[in-house]
Chain A
Amino acid sequence: MIEKMMNPALTQLKVTAKDWQEAVHLAGAPLVEARAVSQHYVEEIIRSVEKYGPYFVITPHVALAHAPSDAGAHQLAMGITTLEPAVAFNNPDNDPVKYIFTLSAPDSNSHLQAMQELVELLSEDAFYQTLDQAQSPDEIMQYVQANVAAKKE
């Protein structure tokens, strides 16, 4: 399931950002380009963090950038952006952020299985090694396909 939400065009490696706002803008840009989300959705992510704090830095070095569905999530999609160098999101427990997963979920249930798979991916050290070492987005796609498919058997 999650492999259908991802694609190489939504995946960016070794992106440089001067601060977390720029990092979220850059991470969201391919999803806006693909019309998976509106530009407003990306702005809403930033506004939410400014209002509530970095609530989506969920585990060390990982941000699951997202906003409520009605902010402009048009299509089910998951972007991956790796940051180099890592960027501070003002989350004392889990900073600095090296990986941004930009989630677009048009409703609260259609991505249930994909989130389950993301939990499994993020629980494996090998996934982080792949994110760090990949030379192209395709290598990450291959890892995801191999591992998500392997779990289903």
Chain B
Amino acid sequence: MVKALVACRAGVGSSLMLKIKLNQVIDEQHWDMEVEHSSLDELESFDGPIIVTLSDVAADLKSEGVKKEIVGITNILDKNEIQTKVGAALEKIGDQ
């Protein structure tokens, strides 16, 4: 079971919607993955390997040097984008 955190600035809106859509993709793809959501403030207490967030937030996290696999989504309703990007992150983690 891989743990992923969906996070956004406030933790009440975009991250929740992204989590809903990501869970649909997980069901369809039969990924062994568990998703939590929160605001960015709770990032430090998250112990899983993957963070999924909006693309501009992802860019900030990467530049801050956050040591996780960070996935940035531009269109949170686009299941193809979510599947491609999160799938790539899962593969990377599997390789480690």
The answer to whether B75 and A52 have CB atoms under 8 Å apart is no
Contact B60 A119 (CB under 8 A): no
- The winner among B13, B39, B60, B76 for most chain A CB atoms within 10 A is B13
Main secondary structure of the interface of B (DSSP, over half): mixed
Chain B hits for A108, CB < 8 A: 11-12, 16
Say yes or no: is B95 at the interface (Cβ < 8 Å to chain A).
no
Contact A68 B78 (CB under 8 A): no
Task: Select B75's contact among A60, A69, A105, beta carbons within 8 Å.
Answer: A60
Q: In the bound complex, do residue A48 and residue B9 qualify as a contact, i.e. CB atoms below 8 Å apart?
A: yes
A35-84 interface with B by 8 A CB criterion: 48, 52-56, 58-60, 64, 66-69, 73
What residues on B are CB-neighbors of A48 within 8 Å?
9-10
Tally of contacts, chain A with chain B, CB under 8 A:
74
- A–B complex contacts, Cβ < 8 Å, 7 sampled: A58-B76, A59-B75, A66-B12, A68-B9, A103-B12, A105-B12, A111-B12
Residue A118 is within 8 A (CB to CB) of chain B in the complex: yes
Residue B77 contacts which of A52, A56, A58 (CB distance < 8 angstroms)? A58
Whether the Cβ atoms of A55 and B76 lie closer than 8 Å is no
Apart from the given pairs A55-B54, A64-B14, A68-B11, 18 other A-B contacts in the complex at a CB distance below 8 Å: A52-B9, A52-B56, A53-B56, A54-B56, A55-B8, A55-B56, A56-B9, A58-B14, A59-B78, A66-B12, A66-B13, A68-B12, A94-B74, A103-B12, A105-B13, A115-B13, A115-B16, A115-B20
